[in-house]
Structure 1
């Protein structure tokens, strides 16, 4: 049923639940598992980031740690990808590039708020792949 499963993670609790679900699905269907984390610099604004790469480097380092955590938790091989940009666009582009049969992600990320986060909603609305929110 599934040959290629993509999990998007930012290290939040919902994303960690998504990782667990994606690992279970990949194991059950003997599917290839991919994990992506997106460094979203757009939330900080260009003026805050101009002239300094330190913040971006810190964000990339955190995303690398999040992806490393996925590989250590999974009982299957995981291909990881670190991207920079708007999360829903990068998740969608990566899902397309690997021809993902399923995209798994948390219903919200690191921000606080209502039932579904803005990135999760954008992925559901704009990514042309079957999606599972956890």
Structure 2
């Protein structure tokens, strides 16, 4: 049913549950799993010659760590995992990458690190669900 699955992560608890679910789906369907981490340019300015550059670099390093963990988990299950770390607006980058790889399924967490109200769906998740134009599972 699924040949290509995309999971978005920011390292939050909800995103980690989404990664677990996406790995299960990829294993069950023999799918390739793509994992994306987006450095949110609305929160972290593009690198320049300032202290923001260090903060942005730290966030990008964190993203690579999260993606490496997904890849290692996939490798241990025999799942092909492709990772992408990029900069931009998370919902735009997630949807754009889903379109690029023609994902059969997009898996996202209910809410991410920046969300403060525990009873509401996160804004990135909401935008992905409304605009992806393909199946999205919210975990």
Specify if TM > 0.5: yes
Query: Aligned residue pairs: how many?
Result: 132
Tell me the C-alpha RMSD between the 2 structures. 1.4
Q: Within the alignment, does 1:28 sit opposite 2:1 as a pair?
A: no
Q: How does 1:56-75 map to 2 (within 5 A)?
A: 56-74=56-74, 75=77
Could you tell me which of 124, 130, 134 is aligned with 2:135? 130
- CA offsets per residue over residues 11-35 of structure 1, 9 Å max, x none? 0000000001000101111111110
Tell me which residue corresponds to 2:89.
Answer: 86
Structure 1 residue 41: Cα displacement: 2.2
SS at the partner of 2:113?
coil
* Displacement of 1:72: 1.5
Deviation at 1:50, TM superposition (A): 5.4
Q: Which has the larger displacement, 37-46 or 71-80? A: 37-46
Does the 8 A contact of 2:45 with 2:56 survive in 1?
no
Distance 2:45 2:63 in 1: 19
Structure 1 ranges of 4+ moved more than 4 A: none
Whole-Å separation in 2 of the counterparts to 1:73 and 1:12: 17
Measured after TM superposition, the shift of residue 129 of structure 1 is: 1.6
Query: Could you list the per-position Cα deviations for residues 29-87 of structure 1 after superposition, in whole angstroms to 9, with x for gaps in the alignment?
Result: 111111000000212467xx653221211111010001011112221121000111000
**Following the alignment from structure 2 to structure 1, what is the Cα–Cα distance between the partners of residues 44 and 62?**
16
Where structure 2 has 5 or more consecutive residues not aligned to the other structure, the ranges are: none
